[in-house]
Chain A
């Protein structure tokens, strides 16, 4: 990693250091370098561009092993790099499930071979994601796992979650259990937010209270055990309120929200577009606005993509048969800029905190999230905040099930620096 280059005249926005000013950033030997390294280095004109810590995604489905027809570690990390991500947390719902150190290690090796983005495999909380027996979390912690999740479902019983929260205390204070909060008995057979529109469209609903019930349960158990809970992809206004209150009471909880829940509402489903089918579902405008407010005031720590690639023929099906989810790595920054930053709902520095610094902290990704200081690992995202573009297939991802297809965005990644190497330059992957 001997590349040496310098971004000249960019706006350095570094939430970790509280920095926002125009200066040069030099990279040498895999690290952020001092000004002396700029001499003789490749010069990259960064005037008008923003230089930020590399983005970090807490919620990516890379699908490998087992579902390589949807995505692979190589294609998924390529999508991540194109979207400005230098680290992603890969969810455990692969085949076989990432519930043991061997699968964790295999995913990490695939990522290292691709060399585009650091992958932090998430371990399963229960064996095979079956919700019955705890997975061997100790072994996975030794293999470097810090976040565990049965994503797709919550841990089904209060007893099992309580035991999981207690059990991981043996491994220190920073192990996090990430929950997909939807009560299974209330969402079974449901395909969209329950409300006037689901009634009119004849689609069984997934009511907001399904999420709120699990959020409330999890907060109670986090308090009782002193354990750490991370709430995935919050979707309802009352969930945000529950988290807000819990934080004020000192409960150890963090939360994420997706770009699609910040953008769309259930009204957008009136054409049965399967690319907009999500678990949890897109909800009402009031819910979306509460999510935006929660992200702005820090109740919700992070923006996470829930990048969920599916094959064309899987999404090109009847609405009730199509799998839920949208890809998101390549559009997240553009969507947040377009929907929240440019209209004035969210300061750019807070947006980058939520896309990089905060998730890096939750994930324990010490090489990511800034600060952008000499001697630190060079993981950077450089973007043009004003470049207009239209979301279109093909993507760097193997999949094309984007909820944002056809939308015009303002703001696009131009360069991604991963471990000191330019893995994306002028918007295109270099490897």
Chain B
């Protein structure tokens, strides 16, 4: 494994398997009364969140704390960043304070990679612009493997605003790497140009795709995209691509519904679908902590420079 986690492309299939296996062993820690192991005692993890996020930050914070690391949360509001300090200068400050790992969330694609040019700490991408969100992708792979027993050959549809989704990118790259078959589904305006270059299929017909899916992965659709002319109305989006109870019935028995959250109930997913037993949305959240523990452990567990 590389010393940073910036993109799914940083990982080999064997790396992914090792991360998921490691996460499985950490999953048990979360079920204990004392949810803590001493693996990263004395190490410092900085959550460097320059874009609003609650669930990912809390998930990383819990993961680091369950590994006994010291955790600092640094967010944009009220910080030096709000006063106009550059990303580089802020990063150098965190470095000077002895951060061993920097978990960065940023609205600019590529900023985690830029960060690695300026700091020695391990950098973990917690979502950069519309680029990638690899820890989310990995927790999704973990959840699919746990529920369905495998990744190779799985048929996964990723439905919705793929164009603006870092989750869709990381998940697509990860699934293709692990031998799954991915179909991107959505209005043509929300499918990235030349997305077929990722090794995925593209469809504009949700009802044609659903009968062939082991997993229907539903993306959040932001209402502001309507204003920006990507589709005429939320109503029409829901009518053409929304995941309704009737549509779920088209899926094979045992097929999963997943969503990275936060959900827009009634837009991309109906409330009664989100609450079906085959929806594993809350389990995704739980698994996220274990996967992030695994990543912090594998990246920080050894001294820097040694194979983790």
Give the shortest distance, in Å, between B280 (CB) and chain A (any CB). Answer: 26
Q: Within 8 Å of chain B (Cβ to Cβ): is A194?
A: yes
Give the shortest distance, in Å, between A369 (CB) and chain B (any CB). Answer: 42
Assess whether A199 is in contact with B114, with CB atoms less than 8 Å apart.
no
Q: Within 8 Å of chain B (Cβ to Cβ): is A68?
A: no
Residues of the A chain whose Cβ atoms lie less than 8 Å from the Cβ of B129: 202-203, 320
Mark out the residues of chain A between 184 and 230 whose CB falls within 8 Å of any chain B CB in the assembled complex. 194-196, 198-205, 207
- Quick one: which of B113, B169, B194 contacts A272, CB cutoff 8 A? B113
Q: Within 8 Å of chain B (Cβ to Cβ): is A248?
A: no
Assess whether B87 is in contact with A202, with CB atoms less than 8 Å apart.
no
Assess whether B110 is in contact with A319, with CB atoms less than 8 Å apart.
yes
Assess whether B166 is in contact with A202, with CB atoms less than 8 Å apart.
yes
Q: Within 8 Å of chain A (Cβ to Cβ): is B78?
A: no
User: Mask for B140-171, Cβ within 8 A of A = 1, else 0?
Assistant: 00000000000000000000000000100100
Assess whether B111 is in contact with A318, with CB atoms less than 8 Å apart.
yes
What separation, in Å, do the CA atoms of A385 and B147 have in the docked complex?
66
Assess whether A201 is in contact with B197, with CB atoms less than 8 Å apart.
no
Assess whether A313 is in contact with B86, with CB atoms less than 8 Å apart.
yes
The answer to whether residues A202 and B130 also contact, given A271-B113, A272-B109 and a CB cut-off of 8 A, is yes
Mark out the residues of chain B between 106 and 139 whose CB falls within 8 Å of any chain A CB in the assembled complex. 106, 108-111, 113-114, 128-132
Residues of the B chain whose Cβ atoms lie less than 8 Å from the Cβ of A313: 86
Residues of the B chain whose Cβ atoms lie less than 8 Å from the Cβ of A319: 108-111, 114
Mark out the residues of chain A between 316 and 346 whose CB falls within 8 Å of any chain B CB in the assembled complex. 316-321
- Quick one: which of B86, B109, B194, B198 contacts A195, CB cutoff 8 A? B194
Residues of the A chain whose Cβ atoms lie less than 8 Å from the Cβ of B198: 196, 199-200
- Quick one: which of A198, A271, A316, A320 contacts B86, CB cutoff 8 A? A316
Give the shortest distance, in Å, between A373 (CB) and chain B (any CB). Answer: 52
Number of A-B contacts (CB under 8 A): 64
Residues of the B chain whose Cβ atoms lie less than 8 Å from the Cβ of A204: 130
User: Mask for B44-83, Cβ within 8 A of A = 1, else 0?
Assistant: 0000000000000000000000000000000000000000
The answer to whether residues A196 and B131 also contact, given A316-B88, A320-B109 and a CB cut-off of 8 A, is no
Assess whether B193 is in contact with A318, with CB atoms less than 8 Å apart.
no
Assess whether B88 is in contact with A200, with CB atoms less than 8 Å apart.
no
Assess whether A321 is in contact with B108, with CB atoms less than 8 Å apart.
yes
Mark out the residues of chain B between 180 and 212 whose CB falls within 8 Å of any chain A CB in the assembled complex. 192-195, 197-198
Residues of the A chain whose Cβ atoms lie less than 8 Å from the Cβ of B86: 313, 316-317
Residues of the B chain whose Cβ atoms lie less than 8 Å from the Cβ of A203: 109-110, 129-131
Residues of the A chain whose Cβ atoms lie less than 8 Å from the Cβ of B88: 316-317
Task: Closest A residue to B163 by CB, please name it.
Answer: A199
Give the shortest distance, in Å, between B293 (CB) and chain A (any CB). Answer: 26
What separation, in Å, do the CA atoms of A196 and B109 have in the docked complex?
15
Assess whether A317 is in contact with B193, with CB atoms less than 8 Å apart.
no
- Quick one: which of B114, B132, B169, B197 contacts A318, CB cutoff 8 A? B114
Give the shortest distance, in Å, between A219 (CB) and chain B (any CB). Answer: 26
Assess whether B108 is in contact with A318, with CB atoms less than 8 Å apart.
yes
What separation, in Å, do the CA atoms of A321 and B84 have in the docked complex?
13
Residues of the A chain whose Cβ atoms lie less than 8 Å from the Cβ of B169: 200, 202
Residues of the A chain whose Cβ atoms lie less than 8 Å from the Cβ of B109: 201-203, 272, 319-320
User: Mask for B80-110, Cβ within 8 A of A = 1, else 0?
Assistant: 0000001110000000000000000010111
What separation, in Å, do the CA atoms of A199 and B172 have in the docked complex?
12
Assess whether A272 is in contact with B132, with CB atoms less than 8 Å apart.
no
- Quick one: which of A194, A202, A205, A321 contacts B131, CB cutoff 8 A? A202
A202, A316, A320: most-surrounded residue (chain B CB, <10 A): A202
What separation, in Å, do the CA atoms of A204 and B111 have in the docked complex?
15
The answer to whether residues A201 and B110 also contact, given A316-B86, A317-B86 and a CB cut-off of 8 A, is yes
The answer to whether residues A199 and B194 also contact, given A316-B86, A316-B88 and a CB cut-off of 8 A, is yes
Give the shortest distance, in Å, between B111 (CB) and chain A (any CB). Answer: 5
Assess whether B195 is in contact with A199, with CB atoms less than 8 Å apart.
yes
Assess whether B197 is in contact with A196, with CB atoms less than 8 Å apart.
yes
Residues of the A chain whose Cβ atoms lie less than 8 Å from the Cβ of B128: 202
The answer to whether residues A195 and B131 also contact, given A200-B198, A202-B169, A318-B111 and a CB cut-off of 8 A, is no
Task: Closest B residue to A272 by CB, please name it.
Answer: B110
Give the shortest distance, in Å, between A405 (CB) and chain B (any CB). Answer: 14
What separation, in Å, do the CA atoms of A318 and B108 have in the docked complex?
6
The answer to whether residues A318 and B110 also contact, given A202-B128, A202-B129, A202-B132 and a CB cut-off of 8 A, is yes
Residues of the B chain whose Cβ atoms lie less than 8 Å from the Cβ of A205: 193
Assess whether B108 is in contact with A320, with CB atoms less than 8 Å apart.
yes
Give the shortest distance, in Å, between A307 (CB) and chain B (any CB). Answer: 25
Give the shortest distance, in Å, between B134 (CB) and chain A (any CB). Answer: 12
What separation, in Å, do the CA atoms of A31 and B89 have in the docked complex?
53
Residues of the B chain whose Cβ atoms lie less than 8 Å from the Cβ of A201: 109-110, 131
What separation, in Å, do the CA atoms of A198 and B198 have in the docked complex?
12
What separation, in Å, do the CA atoms of A349 and B129 have in the docked complex?
47
Residues of the A chain whose Cβ atoms lie less than 8 Å from the Cβ of B114: 272, 318-319
Task: Closest A residue to B50 by CB, please name it.
Answer: A318
Residues of the A chain whose Cβ atoms lie less than 8 Å from the Cβ of B194: 195-196, 199
What separation, in Å, do the CA atoms of A7 and B86 have in the docked complex?
51
Residues of the B chain whose Cβ atoms lie less than 8 Å from the Cβ of A271: 113
Assess whether A199 is in contact with B110, with CB atoms less than 8 Å apart.
no
Task: Closest B residue to A205 by CB, please name it.
Answer: B193
Mark out the residues of chain A between 134 and 154 whose CB falls within 8 Å of any chain B CB in the assembled complex. none
Give the shortest distance, in Å, between A319 (CB) and chain B (any CB). Answer: 5
Give the shortest distance, in Å, between B8 (CB) and chain A (any CB). Answer: 11
Task: Closest A residue to B109 by CB, please name it.
Answer: A202
What separation, in Å, do the CA atoms of A317 and B88 have in the docked complex?
7
Give the shortest distance, in Å, between A404 (CB) and chain B (any CB). Answer: 19
What separation, in Å, do the CA atoms of A149 and B114 have in the docked complex?
35
Mark out the residues of chain A between 3 and 62 whose CB falls within 8 Å of any chain B CB in the assembled complex. none
Assess whether A196 is in contact with B108, with CB atoms less than 8 Å apart.
no
Residues of the B chain whose Cβ atoms lie less than 8 Å from the Cβ of A196: 193-195, 197-198
- Quick one: which of B108, B111, B193 contacts A199, CB cutoff 8 A? B193
Give the shortest distance, in Å, between A390 (CB) and chain B (any CB). Answer: 20
Give the shortest distance, in Å, between B200 (CB) and chain A (any CB). Answer: 11
Task: Closest B residue to A318 by CB, please name it.
Answer: B108
Residues of the A chain whose Cβ atoms lie less than 8 Å from the Cβ of B106: 318
Task: Closest B residue to A191 by CB, please name it.
Answer: B109
Q: Which 5 A-B pairs have the closest CB atoms?
A: A202-B131, A272-B110, A318-B108, A199-B192, A196-B194
Task: Enumerate 9 A-B pairs (CB-CB under 8 Å) in ascending A order.
Answer: A196-B195, A199-B192, A199-B197, A200-B198, A201-B131, A202-B109, A203-B110, A319-B110, A319-B111
Give 4 new A-B contacts, CB below 8 A, not counting A194-B193, A318-B111: A201-B110, A202-B130, A316-B88, A319-B111
Q: Which residues of B contact A (CB under 8 A)?
A: 86-88, 106, 108-111, 113-114, 128-132, 166, 169, 192-195, 197-198
